[in-house]
Structure 1
Amino acid sequence: RELASRTKGGGAGLSEPCGVLVGDLLEGARLVDSLAPEHLLIDAEDPGGLLARVHNAGAVFLGADSPVALGDYAVGVNHVLPTGGAARYASPLGVYDFLKRSNVVFSNPKANRLLGPVVTTLAALEGMANHAEAVRRRMH
C-alpha cells in the first residue's frame, strides 16, 4: 500500500509523516531489519557504514541526495521489490532469477563415513530405505 501523496511535491511526500526514535544507529539497523522495508533511505553521516549493518531491505538509497524516485525510474535497479516485509527472505527481481542453475555434489569415502550416520538416520525416518542403503554402501 502506498502512503505517499501523488499530488504534493517536496519532502518524502508522506501524507502523515512519522518517525521512530531509537537509542543509536545499531538499534535503528535492527529495527529496519525487523521491518524489512521495500525502500530504505539512509540519511546519516556515514550511510555506507550503516548500510553494512542493514540486511533486510528491498532497495537502499544512500544519502539525502539519493531519492527513491531515482531507483524507481532512472538508475537501472529493478523496480520489482519485495513488499510487506518479504525483504527478510526475498531479493529484488534480478538477472539471476532468469538463470537456470544446478547443485553439484562431489563426495568421497571419508566424507561419506562422517555424514553417513546422519544421512541414513534421516533417510530411515523419512521412509527412504534405498537412500539410506545408497549411503551405507559408500561408507567404505
Structure 2
Amino acid sequence: MSYVHPSREEIKQILLDSPTIAVVGLSDDPSKVSYMVSEAMQKKGYRIIPVNPKAASILGETCYASLKDIPHPVDIVNVFRRPEHTPPIAEEAVAIGAKVLWLQLGILNEEAAEIASARGLRVIMDRCIKVEDSILLPNGRATL
C-alpha cells in the first residue's frame, strides 16, 4: 500500500463526524505537545480520552491503560507515539471499532496504515489534528 493523505474536505468531514478522540501517548505534562494539542482540541468541543497507563487523569478525564479499556465508543484514535509502536495501536483501534487512525505530525508507519485501512478505518498520518482543525473548522464544530 502506498499511503495518500485524504483531501482537506475529507479531513474536514472526519473532524465534523468525530466528537470523541482517544489520545494514545497523552502526557500529563502541560509543556508537552500531546498535552497542548489535546487541551486545544478539548477547548474546541471534542471529548478527549487519555490513554496513558501511568496517569489517573489528564485534562479532567479518566486515563485508560489501553484503547481496549475505554468503556465507550471512540471516533478517532490520535497517536503520539514513535512510529515503531503504531502497528499494535492500529490493531487496538480496529478492535474497539474506531473510525479513524490519526498519526500525529512526524509519525508515519505504512504497516499501521495497512492494518487500519484494510479493516475499514480512515488513516491520516504525519498531520497535526490541532492544525487541521484550526484551518478547516476555525470557529469550531458546533457553529456549523
Same fold (TM over 0.5): no
Instruction: Flag the structure with more relative contact order, 1 or 2, with Cα contacts below 8 A and sequence separation at least 6.
Output: 2
Q: TM-score, normalised by structure 2?
A: 0.31
Q: Which has the higher strand share?
A: 2
Larger of the two Rg values belongs to structure? 1
